[in-house]
Structure 1
Amino acid sequence: MSGALVVSGLHAGYGQSRVLQGVGFELAAGQIVAVLGRNGSGRSTLARALMGLVPARGSVRWRGQELLGRPPHAIARLGVAYVPESRDVFPRLSVAQNLALGLQPGAGRPQRWTPEWVFDSFPALAARRHVAAGVLSGGEQQMLSLCRALMGAPQLLIVDEPTEGLAPQVVAQVDALLRELRDQGLAVLLIEQKLDLSLAVADRLAVMGHGRLVFEGSANALTGSRDVVREWLEV
């Protein structure tokens, strides 16, 4: 698939602990694939492995180039952005300074998203542009983290649990932003626990269990697979 992420036979873990057990899937431009699963299923390890943050073997090809073995900064320069579950804003720097750190001048890709776009799109961040990121609410930090990732003009966005602990109105903002990014041609890999959100926003869904994909398909296929939902998703 040209312009796609193609993952095959991906194994990864921490020390002697093997978490991912041969994961494989594809993600094209203009698609959202949501990866679901219980805590401990390997979803966050998958995101970290794709970004070069944990040792891995197998193959991760992005737009025809192999990512495995490259350091995270080199993967980012190829147009891949990662928003971790921890958000990782720089707490002592202002909102505007956090956004500036995400810019990649000379990346060779169209700069669709700018700090001005952020402040036009998210009035709450505009009102606090000179405020230290560490005093923002959880929802404001999440939007800042997502927007900072966009400053590098990515073509693939990997976002881990973007709605965890957020109020419904902020979840709706995240939902709308992800849809907008997809419509603008980004490939989005969404690591998520909320089944309702994933069913609403994703083009395809993948369910992980014990480090493997136990299901991959459409929203209709997943809702029709009650055994998969009951065994791998319900608490």
Structure 2
Amino acid sequence: MLEVRQLVAGYGQGQVLNGVDLRVAPGEVVALLGRNGAGRSTLAKALVGLVPAQGSARWKGRELLGLAPFEVARSGVGYVPESRDAFPHLSVRDNLLLGRQRRAGRWDFDAVYHWFPRLKEREHTPAGRLSGGEQQMLALARTLMGSPALLILDEPTEGLAPSMVEQVADVLRSLCAEGVAILLIEQKLSIAFSVSDRVALMGHGRVVFDGLPQALAADQGLQDEWLAV
């Protein structure tokens, strides 16, 4: 279980998160929604040690805040950043190798290439020559190579063709069936509603709604207040 309590974080003198409370259970997808600037990406970065934070973020009883990013990763937390961060001069295969953890897991080259056959076709291609969608697939696949028990994804379907979006959705469903906890930052409501068990809506640096996706889908006033541009 991921349990976040009164998490505060920001950049320099600017505070972005103002006391976030959130939980994600094993085998559950929680979609994190909100306008740009609501603090969703900052929350993800705080959880994986990329942004200093105060409060508490416990994963399986262990406090994550204060750990270095590599320590967070070794605790079973995988992070797929919005920026993808592929190593452009390394091949697809070498990028995937960088994500592999020492411990054994179900995600290996065979599993990754089963879900993302395009990466198999481009296995020896430098990552910098991949399309944006292919780099997004590579970022997700590289993180899966670590067989995470908690997966944090920041806009994983951004720029993807509809067929690839459905591919990502299928992967998330498969991970849930294996008991992986997933925190999904997503702009597309259709995707968020279709794969999530709960949705958490952020505004002004805190969670302003936490409940079933059907409840948010039925509340147009809440959507207008916190999601409409």
1:224: Cα distance to partner? Answer: 2.1
Query: What residue in structure 1 maps to residue 106 of structure 2?
Result: 112
Query: So what's the TM-score if we normalise by structure 1?
Result: 0.95
Task: State whether structure 2 residue 39 is matched by structure 1 residue 29.
Answer: no
Query: Which runs of at least 4 in structure 1 moved beyond 2 Å after TM superposition?
Result: none
Matched, 1:43 2:23: no
Is residue 87 from structure 1 mapped to residue 84 from structure 2 by the alignment? yes
1:212-223 mapped onto 2 (5 Å cutoff): 212-223=206-217
Question: Within 2, Cα distance between the matches of 1:142 and 1:7?
Answer: 27
Q: Is the 8 A contact 2:115 2:167 kept in 1?
A: no
Q: Which residue of 1 aligns with 2:199?
A: 205
RMSD: 0.9
Distance 1:64 1:215 in 2: 25
Distance in 2, Cα, partners of 1:206 & 1:119: 32
* 1:124 positional shift: 0.9
Partner of 1:136: 130
1:125 corresponding residue in structure 2: 119
Deviates more, 1:4-13 or 1:113-122: 113-122
1:1-235 paired onto structure 2 within 5 Å: 4-105=1-102, 107=103, 110-235=104-229
Q: Deviations over 1:49-72 (max 9, x none)?
A: 001111100000000001111111
**Separation in structure 2 between the aligned mates of residue 84 and residue 135 of structure 1, nearest angstrom:** 19
- How far, CA to CA, are the matches of 1:41 and 1:120 in structure 2? 36
% of aligned pairs identical? 59
- Structure 1 counterpart SS, 2:151: strand
Q: CA deviation at 1:120?
A: 2.5
Alpha-carbon offset, residue 140 of structure 1:
1.1
Letter in 1 for 2:160: L
For structure 1, which runs of at least 5 residues remain unmatched after alignment?
A: none
How many correspondences in the alignment?
229
Amino acid at match of 2:32: V
Can you give the 5+ residue segments of structure 2 that lack an aligned partner in the other structure?
A: none
